[in-house]
Amino acid sequence: MLILKTLALEPMHGYGIGLRLEQISQGVFRVNAGSLFPAFRRLERDGLIKGEWRATENHRRAKYYALTAQGRATLRRETRQWEVQTAAIARILKMSTSES
């Protein structure tokens, strides 16, 4: 889901995605390449993102990943679910702290 979110703004290449994740989360998530690339492959297979070879800002060739329409839908759905869940968890936590 996080990868989908980073791609929601613009297409990006692998390193950029990793970097962006780290930046956005202010260093909380440092995603290893060993998890990142299999995730790309999986998302691509599921049709949520689409890879495309393009030149980078410093004139190298890199595979840019972009969100597909289906990916956008999934992102929206999962974000909503996540919000619902976190809200629920937060409520439970608050309740148990107020009890103790």
Residues found near another protein in the complex (CB under 8 A): 13-16, 19, 32-35, 37-38, 40-42, 44-47, 56, 58, 60-63
User: Measured from the CB atom, is 62 or 66 closer to another protein?
Assistant: 62
Q: At closest approach, how far in Å is the CB of 31 from another protein?
A: 11
Q: Which lies closer to another protein via its Cβ, residue 2 or residue 19?
A: 19
> From the CB of 24, what's the least distance to another protein, in Å?
17
Torsion of CA 15, 21, 23, 25, to 10 degrees: -160
Asked if residues 6 and 17 have their Cβ atoms less than 8 Å apart, the reply is yes
Which residues, at least 6 apart from 86, have a Cβ–Cβ distance to it below 8 Å? none
Q: Please, which residue, 26 or 34, has the CB nearer to another protein?
A: 34
SS3 64: strand
Alpha carbons 53 and 66: distance in angstroms, whole number: 11
Q: How far is the CB of 90 from another protein (least distance, A)?
A: 33
